Amino acid sequence: MRRRNLSRLTIAGVTFALLAGTAPAAVAGADHGRSNGGDRSKGHHRPAYKNIGYFTQWGVYGRDFQVKDLDTSGTAAKLTHINYAFGNVSAEGTCFTGDIPGQADAWADYVRPFDAAGSVDGVADTDTQPLAGNFNQLRELKAKNPGLKVMISLGGWSWSTHFSDSVRTAASRKALVASCIDLYIKGNLPVNGARGGKGAAAGLFDGIDVDWEWPGSAGNEGTVFRPEDKKNFTALIHEFRVQLDAYAKSQAKAKAEKGKGKGHGHHKPKPEPKPKHYDLSAYVPANPAAIDAGFDVKRLMKDFDFVNLQGYDYHVSGEKKTAQQSALYAKNDFSVDRTVRDWIKRGAPKHKLVVGMPTYGQGWTGVSGGGTGMGRPAKAPAPATWADGHEDYKVLKKLAQSGAYKVHRDTKNGHAWLFDGTTLWTYDDPQVLRAKTTYIRDKGLGGAMFWSLDGDTDDGELVTAVDRGLNRR
């Protein structure tokens, strides 16, 4: 089994979601050829804003995008969080992993060995170490970047199938959450040859990102949804918060107990250690209908440390006319500003809203009507490297530099596109991101999120632009 990343959606998924009235967002496991984050250790800078990037499990194959690339590009040093996409939920209502084509990939997660050249720390994996694969590389990346948090993201466009069935009762919610904490937070991985075992990945994950697409609304074909998802999703998130906090307290207590009896004479006993805070977040939609169908915003935001707002795929290449996919502003249309206002209006605190940004473009070909190409009829999704209609920023940058395409900008509304007279790509570049980071600062929002890190340039141009914009560097 090998998987390739197509951005957050497939054409089929887009069509289905558009018909359902939702703004689609993610693909996981697709076989087609995304608190107070950023705490730094003593003496290190503590960013005021979150800068979050999704690392795709399947990107290590055809794309050959490895965890080490985040180190060599300098990207890891500019991120506060890495969201590992994705973990899956079984039909039985538990988090699980294994070597199951289309459902789980333990080989990529923690079994695959890395040689010295491919390893973050420059040391080859051994045949006997219990943790290898992406998980061990992320552990090494954290060691080089004090304060960098890694979160497991559950679900995605393709793996939200069983959420609705799994959260219908208090007992089932409790069981699901317990299984996710056991697998990822406690790190009790299934034994796979020499890999895995109790605590094999302990300490790797600093929180959980719930990417259910979407409670109460139609998502990918085969994904179950029902009206009661809204209240059940709220209860699920509260259960995550309760169990994460309880586990953190139990760990702090165990550490304190271990430290007792080590003092000598009349030395004053050390205070009990403060429990670790595990971040809890979600990827959430832009469409007001999807928000209202599945998200009790005021209650949810009491338990969430932050949410990652859909800031892209406002229009997609399966549509019959070209359009912006990630504009900062847009009259009578989806936009970043409209998404932010819709969440605030429903009770979300500004500082808990993180704006999603694409590292890819949506593209059309057979565009007619002349002009700049925007808002014109198109025949089909544009040919691209991994899937028609979706192309990485690093490729689009080269197109812009080639002279074959002209770069067009709507500076008032904050978006850009490329057009060669026939083919159009709408995308975000550093100039667009500078406008967006200014917006985030001016509005008092929580920061930025990228789907996904493998679409950026080899030197992390987009992540760098956001880091500089948010932190005024």
Are the CB atoms for 310 and 24 separated by under 8 Å?
no
Catalytic residue, chosen from 213, 239, 391, 461, is 213
Cα dihedral 420→421→423→425 (10° resolution) = 60
Quick check: bond before 452 cis, omega within 30?
A: yes
CA 92, distance to chain mean position in Å, is 25
Are the CB atoms for 189 and 202 separated by under 8 Å?
no
Cβ count near 270 (within 10 Å): 11
Are the CB atoms for 365 and 383 separated by under 8 Å?
yes
- What per-residue string of b and e applies to 217-253 under the rule 16 or more CB within 10 Å gives b? bbbbeebebeeebbebbbbbbbbbbebbbebbeebee
Q: Nearest to residue 204, comparing CAs of 155, 253, 137, 285?
A: 137
Q: What is the DSSP letter of 114?
A: -
**What residues contact residue 401 under an 8 Å CB cut-off, 6+ apart?**
none
**In the numeric block, which tokens belong to residue 24?**
């689609």
Q: Can you name the residues that pair with 195 across neighbouring β-strands?
A: 192
Residue in this structure with the two tokens 């080269």, named with its chain if needed:
398
Residue 40: how many CA atoms within 13 Å on its side-chain side? Answer: 15
**In the numeric block, which tokens belong to residue 415?**
């978006």
Q: Is 213 a catalytic residue?
A: yes
Whole-angstrom distance, CA of residue 434 vs CA of residue 311: 15
Q: Can you name the residues that pair with 25 across neighbouring β-strands?
A: none
Annotated catalytic residues are 213
